[in-house]
Amino acid sequence: MKYTLNVTDIDHVIAAHIHTGKTTENGPIVVNLFIPAKATGKVTGSLAQSSIKSTSLSGPLKGKQMPDLISLMKNGQAYVIVRTAQNPPGEVRGTITVG
């Protein structure tokens, strides 16, 4: 699965991940999308662009296959967190929807 993670006007990004969980709950990381060696400067546009393979899966999806991640996404059970130096628990959170 290929992805592009776009952001608008965000500064000092330290990580971005896909987590599993409903909109109203916090869940474990299942895919790392972006982990820089040091915090970014201000970013508007593409923060990360890559692909996810079954070997990229971690946490409760470790050892599982891509259909397991896709199922979570289709069922509203996956969200993205973008973490910053100013707000390490998460500056931005958004549920993943499949269009």
C-alpha 49/C-alpha 41 separation (Å) is: 17
pLDDT band at residue 97 using 50, 70 and 90 as cut-offs: confident
Per-residue pLDDT at 43 exceeds 90: yes
- What percent of the chain shows pLDDT beyond 70? 99
Per-residue pLDDT at 25 exceeds 90: no
The burial of 78, by beta-carbon neighbours within 10 Å (0-12 exposed, 13-18 middle, 19 or more buried), is given as buried
Predicted confidence at residue 14, as pLDDT, reads 98
Per-residue pLDDT at 42 exceeds 70: yes
C-alpha 65/C-alpha 70 separation (Å) is: 9
Convert the pLDDT of each residue in 62-89 to its tens digit.
999 999 999 999 998 999 999 999 999 9
Domain ranges for the chain: 2-95
Q: What is the mean pLDDT of the chain?
A: 94
pLDDT band at residue 90 using 50, 70 and 90 as cut-offs: very high
Predicted confidence at residue 99, as pLDDT, reads 67
